[in-house]
Structure 1
């Protein structure tokens, strides 16, 4: 099996190249409370000298980028939640902006939940606590197109190969009886040995059905017109919504064995090496069915309660949500920082597949500003 070489292995890479790759790779539905990815500061036309991946932006993170000669910082958490009225050194965001501009650093917020790619931070947590038979809490729905066309059997192989190269995926192929007044055009070189004529034919044709991703639709249709042997091409194109049961928001699974609620809390605290967690009251029924969302999962609470899930591990929950969930599900808030652990490694793996001629580093600076007193 051949392995596709990274596109940028021998060429200079601009910051715009990296951003375009990330955004094309993760064209995902916008979830609740997720900031829109984008540039905070910097020139995207600069050539990348190195990439530093961080969870948050602090002055110490900028110092690390400068020291390691990384002029592009990919960060998960936005630098500020409200538009800045002033960029002045008297506030944290202003100081970071001034330093970034002074040292020609570009900061890009990459807040996408990688759960939709099937390898997000939620997957890391479910692996650590040994959840089995996992499925997304909210499966991802994508809009695709179903393309149906008819072609003489001798052109079938060439047409399939051409459309698949353009991005289509063959779904079905069947022989059907047809009566056509066929007008042949100049055929591609692989088919030149066939006769060219115009006449009424009683024959069989191959009915081919393809699934076409939306970004490839125009390319596939143009390829169909170009390689089809008929002057008049018969085809049908319809839009379909497909649910992907292996990708989506968060994960839902089952524990290998049932655990009493109080032991389950100790179990996840140990498995996730947590210094603290917040939770609702422990109830009498055992914990078996567990949901995980790495990030602010408050928007999923009604779904969790409706599906009667035993425990929900997430972050960003409000006081009134603990009241609502009390005695219905074991609601567990492990803190925003803990849910994102492992995210830097995931982004590094994503970028390394495409860019192997630039330095890509995980930030070593600790950025969690929240601390707790432990007894």
Structure 2
């Protein structure tokens, strides 16, 4: 049995190393106010002694981190939503901050959408309710650079290999014609020319187009200039948005069989082990197509309505949105905590791929503050 060699020495991994890895591999939420991702307490230059993954911050959770010698806490939910006028032990946020500073803990708010990796909490729910033929509600768009350059066909293979080794992805390769008088390379006499009606002579070149990830741009451009055989390198670089196939926000799919709405609600409650759920009124229509978004789905509701999906499972909805959806889709709010179940396991799997010499734990402390009376 072989194991992946660690990229970092266990004595050399800093908290900033872990944060940079997450930023490069996961799309963070563009949230407003104080809820955005980032460090809220602590020093990112500290060496990691252990990582504790949690959904919420409480003082009991911080005690668990100290007990397990974890000085870096990755938490999904921020523990304050407004700027703090004062930090005192009497307040919830103040007590947490004071304890974190006392024990030299670093807290990182990780508000993220792992759906973009194809393995998010939405996918977990879709799997539990056995959705088939799934695809995203909203396709992911990634900002990249499109790099186009030209060179003689016999030199194209080496340049393609060199650029792909540093992160570029070849998009197209085609032959084109260029006037000899304008050509920037020496030794053109070795190339076969073909005359045009204008009297100018032309030669064939390969036109190569690459997609360049944002974080690879500098080393790819340096490699291009170093490896390209021409003394004067002609290239075009433009920023574009690219749709990533079958990656994006939320999950759309179909149930194995149609279910009446009342049976579907019981099915969801059982499969997801829910103590309660909120939904719009029943309507005389069987449920077959289902959308799932494990987060605040208010921003995706209109897209779901436009697609005429039978049911939408999410949370964080407003009263007015239930009115809007009523009679159009079976809108189901399963609660904030339920949509995040399994998230700690997903983050653990993501980090373990890169940092397999560091203790990475899922918190055992129950932090959900909302309880319901069961009938």
Q: Same fold (TM over 0.5)?
A: yes
Contact 2:291–2:311, Cα closer than 8 Å, also in 1: yes
In the alignment, which residue of structure 1 is the partner of 2:7? 7
* Rounded Cα–Cα distance in structure 2 between residues aligned with 1:322 and 1:150: 56
8 Å CA contact 1:8–1:356 kept in 2: the answer is no
Does the 8 Å contact 2:29/2:37 carry over to 1? no
3-state SS, counterpart of residue 313 of structure 1:
strand
CA distance in 2, matches of 1:305, 1:57: 35
Q: Displacement, 1:232?
A: 1.4
| Aligned CA distance change for structure 1 residues 247 and 79 (closer, same or farther; 3 Å) | same
- Residues 62-73 of structure 1 mapped to structure 2, 5 A cutoff: 62-73=62-73
Partner of 2:200: none
Please list the CA deviations of residues 213-235 of structure 1 after superposition, one character each: whole Å capped at 9, or x if unmatched: 23223322221111111101222
Equivalent position of 2:321 in the other structure: 321
**Equivalent in the alignment of 1:123:** 123
1:155 maps to 155
TM-superposed CA distance for 1:353, in Å, is: 1.0
Deviation digits for residues 135-163 of structure 1, max 9, x if unmatched? 11111112223222222233222111111
Deviation of 1:176 after TM superposition, in Å, equals 3.9
Equivalent position of 2:21 in the other structure: 21
- Which runs of structure 2 are paired with 1:74-153 in the superposition (5 Å)? 74-153=74-153
Q: How does 1:235-274 map to 2 (within 5 A)?
A: 235-274=235-274
Once residues 65 and 344 of structure 1 are traced to their aligned partners in structure 2, the CA distance between those partners, rounded to angstroms, is: 15
Note if contact 2:28-2:111 (Cα within 8 Å) is conserved in structure 1.
no
Alignment of structure 1 residues 174-185 onto 2, 5 Å: 174-180=174-180
Secondary structure of 1:147's counterpart equals strand
Compute the displacement of 1:35 (Å): 2.5
The aligned residue for residue 167 of structure 1 is 167
Q: Which secondary structure does the structure 2 equivalent of 1:66 belong to? A: helix
d(CA) in 2 for partners of 1:358 and 1:209?
41
Q: Which runs of 5+ in 1 are unaligned?
A: 185-195
Of residues 102-111 and 206-215 in structure 1, the stretch that sits farther from structure 2 once superposed is 206-215
C-alpha contact (below 8 Å) 2:280/2:325 kept by paired residues: yes
Q: TM-score, normalised by structure 1?
A: 0.91
Of stretches 337-346 and 164-173 in structure 1, the one that deviates more from structure 2 is 164-173
Q: 1:373 maps to what in 2?
A: 373
Q: 294-303 or 328-337: which moved more?
A: 294-303
Cα distance change, pair 157–29 in 1 and its aligned pair in 2 (3 A): farther
Whether the 8 Å contact between 1:33 and 1:296 is mirrored in structure 2 is no
Shift of 1:31: 5.6
Deviation at 1:199, TM superposition (A): 5.2
**Could you say what the CA RMSD is over the residues aligned between the two structures, in angstroms?**
2.2
Whole-angstrom distance in 1 between the partners of 2:71 and 2:128: 34
1:151 to 1:229, Cα distance in 2 relative to 1, 3 A: same
